[in-house]
Amino acid sequence: MRTTENKLSGVGLGFRRDLADYFLDSKTNAPRFVELAPENWMEIGGKWGKVLRAVAERYPITSHGLSLSLGSPEPIDKEFLSGVKKFLKSYNVQIYSEHLSFNKCGNAHLYDLLPIPFCEDAVKHVSQRIRETQDFLGRKIAIENVSYYTPIAPEIDEATFIRSIVEESDCNLLLDVNNVYVNAFNHGYDPKSFIQALPLDKVVYIHMAGHEQRAPDLIIDTHGQPIIEPVFDLFDWTLTKIREVPVLLERDFNFPNAKELEGELGRLQALVDSRWSIQNAA
């Protein structure tokens, strides 16, 4: 299997249509790369096809999928994967990641990313689907630890579940630091211990985002707010535990002005430069 070499570095930003003008502004230089959901852009034409081509000419692209549904019971959708494979090749996508979740069953497509039961049977099922996906694409994918609000019939802990799938499928890991923080808060565990229990040598990508606290004991992962200080602190600590990888800022709505957005990107980049420049010099 061909392993796509990771040449990306620095901090990127998720591409949203509301931010198109920002990305294509000649004065914009803060994001080092952009991330796209391939299913939102495959075979697109017209105005947005031109925008996509213009973005691709200016920025390296990563892809974070929404529809593979690794936890679903039915066979992998090879027709869909064919479109993904074509998209990844067309835009020289270096990292393709997906959520460790499911969002469809049969003809029912759900508009949410639901958790997979933390059990050995699910480890085997999901690992097989990841291996099949990787074989079809001819490349490794990265799976993301997701936020969830209730565990489903857990037999093993979440970190063991993730580590077992990564090891059995021989895939990579997308570490979402905000998701770790959200889950640790909601389910009452230590986020640093959780991260240390993951296969950190398999991390090829990091996500950072904001969230909303809806109740004293409930945080919702929204990607619609600035990153809070405890998540920045957890991110800074995490950088000392892994090798240098690309970092993405996710913002899906409630977009700030360009100055505020670049301030958040700049803070992430400063932490990356500080921590990983020390490692590289050692």
Domain residue limits at 27: 11-281
CATH number at residue 166: 3.20.20.150
Does 3 fall in a domain? no
Looking only at Cα atoms, what is the longest distance across the chain?
53
Does 80 fall in a domain? yes
The tally of domains found in the chain comes to: 1
Q: What was the pLDDT predicted at 88? A: 97
* Spatial contact of 87 and 42, defined as CB atoms under 8 Å apart: yes
CA 136 to chain centre: 21
Q: What was the pLDDT predicted at 212? A: 85
* Spatial contact of 174 and 130, defined as CB atoms under 8 Å apart: no
Q: What was the pLDDT predicted at 64? A: 97
199 closest CA partner among 163, 235, 175: 163
The CA distance from 136 to 91, in Å, is 18
Does 4 fall in a domain? no
Residues in the chain: 282
Tell me the mean pLDDT per 10 residues along the chain, length 282.
Answer: 60 95 85 95 95 96 94 91 97 96 66 83 97 98 93 88 98 98 95 98 97 88 92 98 97 91 95 84 56
Does 6 fall in a domain? no
Q: What was the pLDDT predicted at 1? A: 38
CA distances from 41 to 15, 17, 36, 109 (A): 11, 11, 8, 18
Does 247 fall in a domain? yes
Q: What was the pLDDT predicted at 94? A: 94
105-138: burial string, b at 16+ Cβ within 10 Å, e else: eeeeeeeebbbbbbeeebbebbbebbeebbeebe
